[in-house]
Structures are given as structure tokens and as C-alpha cells.
Amino acid sequence: MTVEKRAPKSGALERWNSELHSAKAMYNMRAALAGTGMTPERFAFTAYMMMVRNEGLAKGDRRQLWLGVYAAAECGLSLQPYMQQMHLVPYGTDVTPIVGYKGITYLVAKTGMGMLGQPQLVFQRDVDEGRFRYRNGRCSLDGVVKDMSRPRGILRYAFVVYYGSNGVNLHCCIDRDEILARRERSAGWQAFKAGKGKSSPWKAVVDKDGSEGGDFLGMASKSAIRAFKALPQSADHWGERREKAEAVDRAVDDGGSVSEVLDTEIDDDTPSVSREESVAPAEPGPPDLVDVFVAELQQVDEKGLAELRKRVDQIAPKGHPRREDVAKALNDAARRTKGEI
């Protein structure tokens, strides 16, 4: 959902970087991320790189941008584009935090009570070929596509399976009518239909052959998860984070303010403010971006490494005094992901 574009002016980047790494912001993010395994420095670096990669965010409302960053932190979800847990989507000057279905499945798995399988999408071709079965509350999509030359057609069903740690599996399936009904209840979709928004993740991209695609499929996948009423809930902080993610999702769909469901308070004049009860330490100044980038490389997997390689010239362009440090860190990360070290 994040679009690669040229970087905005360095002044805007430096300002955003300084705000992200301010003492107040670090204090807030450390509190919001407690128990997740993510450090505020790493989280701030990811938020900074989002702005480098997406010029639309640089033009967005800074208060909404901060709300999106803190929403991700309080939900315990990564802003890394390749993880697809939470997206910050610019529409004009608006910045909307959208929880991806992978974010929900991640939070469910972290409770330790079970895990959600990847949502399955069933198209018209699957139905016509008899590959989809739904009997006695159980769903399956079997076999291989018989005719690949045939268009897959419109989306007909979306289903997801929950695999409980106690050995009990639960199924949830919704049909096209319910998916479209959920879309109609979305305030963002209604605003888009009324011409008040430039785009919406609910908008289906239809190919020439009539097959549906685009972010609409991701929203359908998430709808199947949200329709799951039987998911067990845990009482630990991961259960609370899942409830927070669901609250953020509802606020976006209902057209409300995300700030109403967050614990972090955002001041209109100073976006990077602290919690009401916090006393921020002295201002340390932003860290060296190369140090943060190298630290990120030490923890990344093979897929994430491919993403970070694209950013080398932004972090340490040719002629940069620490270009060799970055090259060595990349080489070490590549060897580590291959099991050589």
C-alpha cells in the first residue's frame, strides 16, 4: 500500500527526524512499545523511512501523522511495509492508519492461545470449478485451478480458520453480500463515493476480463477476520493490544477520531508531546541514521533485507564517510540470512 516516490525536501525530513527522536517522543514510544520487543529507536527509524519513501506522507497533516505512528506503537504493530501489519495511507492532507489483516493475525498469535490461518479468497472461477466447499460450518478451497486461461472473476467468499492451541479449529466464512454490506458501513467508503476522498482501500480494481483486485481484496480478508465472533481473548497485554487495534479499525471505519482510542495525548501545537503523567528527560538529539540502519540490519530477515537494500543510497549516498560501514553491515546480514554466520 506504500508507494515508492522521490524523497521530499531534506528540511522536512530533518524536522520529522528530529521530532521522532525527541526526548518526549522517545519516552512515549518506549511506554507504548513496552513488552513488544521493539525499541523506540528502531520504531522511529521505520517511521522516518516511511516519509522518505512516500512523499504523500510528507505533505500530510502532521498531527494525523503522529496519531498514526502512536496508533501503531500502542497496537504493537510494525510500520515496516513488507510486514503489512499497519499502513499509514495519505489521502490529500489526511493520513489514515489502516490495520492490515496480517496485523490482526499477528496479535492473535502473540496471545499464545492459537493462531489464525491466512484468509482465503474465493472467486467465481473457484465456485464454478467446484473447488470451494462449505459444509457444517467448515470451509475449504481444494485442488488446483483447472483452467488458468479463464478469468478468476469477482470475489464471492472470504473465509479464515482459527487453529486453537487446544486442538479445536474454528471457521468463519462471509459471502459477497456481507463483504459489500461491511463496505457500505464504512464512513471512509461513503466519503469516497460522495467525492470527498481521492481514494479508498475499499475500491476494487477491476481488470478488463472482469476480475477484481487491488486493496479491496485485503479489506475483504480483514472483514472475514472481523466477522469472527468466536475468537478467544487473552487478558495479557497482547490481548489489550488486539482490542486496541480493533478499536482503531472501528474508529477509521466509523469516521471518528483515532485520538479517542489512544492513550498517548497529542497536542495540536506540538505533535510529539508526552503522556499527561510523564516527565520527559533532557533532549538528547536525534541519533546517527547510519547507526540505526546498521542496528536494523542486525535483526532483519531475508525479505526485510531486500527492502533495506533499496534504502542504502538514501542513508549513505556515494561519498558518505560511513558508506563502507553500511556495505559491511549489508554483507554480514546477507551471510546471516543464508546461515553462513
249 close to 99: Cβ distance less than 8 angstroms = yes
Query: Among 190-199, 221-230, 277-286, which is the least confidently predicted range?
Result: 277-286
The answer, yes or no, to whether residue 46 has pLDDT greater than 70, is yes
Binned at pLDDT 50, 70 and 90, residue 77 comes out as very high
Strands 114-116 and 94-99: unpaired
Cα 20 to Cα 48: distance, rounded to the nearest angstrom: 8
Cα 297 to Cα 337: distance, rounded to the nearest angstrom: 10
pLDDT higher for 274 or 73? 73
pLDDT higher for 341 or 156? 156
| Residues of the chain above pLDDT 90, percent | 17
* pTM of the predicted model over 0.85: no
Cα 242 to Cα 74: distance, rounded to the nearest angstrom: 10
The answer, yes or no, to whether residue 5 has pLDDT greater than 50, is no
Q: Three cell numbers at 38?
A: 521493539
- Decide: residue 112, CB within 10 A, 0-12 exposed, 13-18 middle, 19+ buried: exposed
pLDDT at 276: 41
Cα 159 to Cα 227: distance, rounded to the nearest angstrom: 10
What count of Cα atoms within 13 Å lies in the side-chain half-sphere of residue 222?
Answer: 25
Cα 87 to Cα 95: distance, rounded to the nearest angstrom: 10
Q: Which long-range contacts (CB under 8 A, 24 or more apart) does 15-20 make?
A: 16/48, 16/51, 16/58, 17/48, 17/286, 17/289, 18/285, 18/286, 19/271, 19/272, 20/44, 20/47, 20/48, 20/69, 20/272, 20/286
177 close to 155: Cβ distance less than 8 angstroms = no
Q: In terms of Cα–Cα distance, which of 281, 310, 272 is closest to 293?
A: 310
Query: Which 8-state DSSP code applies to residue 157?
Result: E
pLDDT digit string (tens) for 163-179?
A: 988 888 889 999 999 99
pLDDT at 341: 66
The answer, yes or no, to whether residue 121 has pLDDT greater than 90, is yes
Query: Among 75-79, 131-135, 253-257, which is the least confidently predicted range?
Result: 253-257
Q: Three cell numbers at 282?
A: 533532557
pLDDT at 10: 54
Report the Cα 284 to chain-centroid distance in Å: 29
Q: Please give the average per-residue pLDDT across 116-127, as a whole number.
A: 92
Cα 227 to Cα 303: distance, rounded to the nearest angstrom: 30
Q: Other C-beta atoms within 10 Å of 29: how many?
A: 27
Report the Cα 137 to chain-centroid distance in Å: 30
Region of residue 45 (left: phi > 0; alpha: psi -120 to 50; beta: else)? alpha
Binned at pLDDT 50, 70 and 90, residue 75 comes out as very high
Q: Which residues, including other chains, have CB under 8 Å from residue 214's CB and lie 6 or more apart?
A: 203, 204, 205
Q: What is the 3-state secondary structure (H, E, C) of 198-214?
A: CCCCCCCEECCCCCEEC
The answer, yes or no, to whether residue 311 has pLDDT greater than 60, is yes
Q: Other C-beta atoms within 10 Å of 338: how many?
A: 9
**Cα Rg of the chain, angstroms:** 21
Backbone angles phi, psi at 47, to 5 degrees: -65, -40
pLDDT digit string (tens) for 277-306?
A: 344 444 444 445 666 666 677 766 777 778
